[in-house]
A and B are shown apart, each in its own frame.
Chain A
């Protein structure tokens, strides 16, 4: 409990520092004004979401091979946290896009693949609610999680090749693109609290799921007795 509170305190402190850096250290964009500052929330959320889904995939593979419940708990924790971060990304994106592009949404490669990714993991969580037996639920959802993760690069590839109307990404989009060095530094710094938050949330969710698992075992034993 004490460790958790300490972890939460660290995360809050980091988030406060990141917010300060995003509002006061990073220079105002010449063309976009202050609106652009939302990227300090938007981009780290997107990246953290992807990291969570990758952790979910690792946990899924580990569960299928090892069949230890801890990997199942890890899988659900990572999927839920990843979905939360991706949701933040999908909400902050349109908030930025409306004043800058003039539209809330465009069917651009990144937006569309993120939306499909979001749908895939919603389906993963739905599947989990629809299977009663814990071991079966763990195995089948892990298998679906594996298929879903394998699908991600294919979704991205297909949409990028055929559906993109939007110019190259600003960051790492080839020559001529790029951020001001201070902005870049702030952006990287803002990723740290997000990752810390991810670890904190995942840890709590994992513990909750572990407790549920234990409770389930006890309940079954009581019913059998």
Chain B
């Protein structure tokens, strides 16, 4: 119970910090928008082509955005020297990671949902009929990205060249998420939309595996 209570308090802190400035959300939204617009120059952005490439485009944009958005997650604690205070405050250090990863998932989901209508309009794709299923893929995908990303951002925050290092560590690790979410999203954007439950299951397995790994090894990430 204390884990959940601690996580709740820390999550409140993460959300308050972000919503005071909204820096992270704004920058990420603009970044994704930029990628979506720039991508249109790399292929013929007609509806049929967009159906083929749309899923991949969207997820690449999300992944790149996430690898930038996750940077300040631990860096902020480090520059303000608040990590040791956080560690002292909670009984289980996993609560710190859990709060951060839930916050990151929420931030990612918000930006993705803000960008989805823009993407649908620009590439002439019908997303409303499959909105529920898309939300499920977005949630499971973003959760996976956030679990791995939170862990790796704790690592990269302690290294030199951290801005470049995080994408370098994170992107190859997220290959399975990219493959599975792209496939499911592509199925949902099809002329006759269908949902690949295999992909959904795979994403859930990825999330579970990495969440377990984080639970087992997470406390070592926060050692000082």
Q: Which residues of A does B touch, CB under 8 Å?
A: 64, 116, 119-120, 123, 126-127, 130-132, 136, 139-140, 143-144, 146-148, 150-151, 154-155, 157-159, 161-163
Question: Which among B152, B183, B206 is the interface contact of A162 at CB below 8 angstroms?
Answer: B183
Say whether A130 contacts B159, CB under 8 Å.
Answer: yes
Which among B169, B173, B180 has the highest number of chain A CB atoms within 10 Å? B173
Answer whether residue B37 sits at the interface, using C-beta atoms and an 8 A cutoff. no
Say whether A162 contacts B169, CB under 8 Å.
Answer: no
Minimal Cβ-Cβ distance residue in A for B183: A162
Say whether A157 contacts B202, CB under 8 Å.
Answer: yes
Interface of B is mostly: helix
Cα A151 to Cα B177 with chains together (Å): 10
Question: Which among B156, B199, B206, B220 is the interface contact of A154 at CB below 8 angstroms?
Answer: B206
Question: Which among B160, B175, B221 is the interface contact of A130 at CB below 8 angstroms?
Answer: B160
Minimal Cβ-Cβ distance residue in A for B165: A130
A residues less than 8 Å from B223 (CB atoms): 139
How many chain B residues touch A (CB < 8 A): the figure is 31
Interface of A is mostly: helix
Chain B stretch 2-47: residues in CB contact (< 8 A) with chain A:
none
Say whether A155 contacts B209, CB under 8 Å.
Answer: no
In angstroms, how far is the closest chain A Cβ from the Cβ of B90? 20
Q: Which residues of B does A touch, CB under 8 Å?
A: 148, 151-152, 155-156, 158-161, 165, 168-169, 172-173, 175-176, 179-180, 183, 198-199, 202, 205-206, 209-210, 213, 217, 220-221, 223
Cross-chain pairs A/B with CB under 8 angstroms, 5 sampled = A127-B156, A130-B160, A130-B165, A154-B205, A162-B199
A residues less than 8 Å from B176 (CB atoms): 151, 154-155, 157-158
A residues less than 8 Å from B198 (CB atoms): 161
B residues less than 8 Å from A159 (CB atoms): 175, 179
Minimal Cβ-Cβ distance residue in B for A120: B172
Say whether B169 contacts A127, CB under 8 Å.
Answer: yes
Say whether B213 contacts A131, CB under 8 Å.
Answer: no
Cα A130 to Cα B148 with chains together (Å): 20
B residues less than 8 Å from A120 (CB atoms): 172-173
B residues less than 8 Å from A150 (CB atoms): 209-210, 213
B residues less than 8 Å from A158 (CB atoms): 175-176, 179-180, 202
In angstroms, how far is the closest chain B Cβ from the Cβ of A132? 8
In angstroms, how far is the closest chain A Cβ from the Cβ of B181? 10
Q: A131-B158, A150-B210 are in contact. Are A144 and B168 (CB under 8 A)?
A: no
Say whether B160 contacts A147, CB under 8 Å.
Answer: no
In angstroms, how far is the closest chain A Cβ from the Cβ of B141? 12
Say whether A126 contacts B183, CB under 8 Å.
Answer: no
Cα A127 to Cα B172 with chains together (Å): 14
Which among B151, B169, B206 has the highest number of chain A CB atoms within 10 Å? B169
A residues less than 8 Å from B155 (CB atoms): 127, 140, 143-144
Minimal Cβ-Cβ distance residue in A for B173: A151
Cα A154 to Cα B161 with chains together (Å): 28
Say whether A143 contacts B175, CB under 8 Å.
Answer: no
Minimal Cβ-Cβ distance residue in A for B213: A150
Q: A126-B168, A130-B159, A136-B158 are in contact. Are A144 and B202 (CB under 8 A)?
A: no
Q: A130-B159, A158-B175, A158-B176 are in contact. Are A139 and B220 (CB under 8 A)?
A: yes
Q: A123-B169, A147-B152, A150-B209 are in contact. Are A131 and B175 (CB under 8 A)?
A: no
Minimal Cβ-Cβ distance residue in B for A124: B169
Say whether A144 contacts B169, CB under 8 Å.
Answer: yes
Cα A151 to Cα B165 with chains together (Å): 18
Minimal Cβ-Cβ distance residue in A for B205: A154
In angstroms, how far is the closest chain A Cβ from the Cβ of B87? 15
A residues less than 8 Å from B169 (CB atoms): 123, 127, 144
Say whether B158 contacts A146, CB under 8 Å.
Answer: no
Q: A146-B213, A146-B217, A147-B213 are in contact. Are A163 and B179 (CB under 8 A)?
A: yes
B residues less than 8 Å from A143 (CB atoms): 151, 155, 217, 220-221
Cα A7 to Cα B168 with chains together (Å): 37
B residues less than 8 Å from A161 (CB atoms): 198, 202
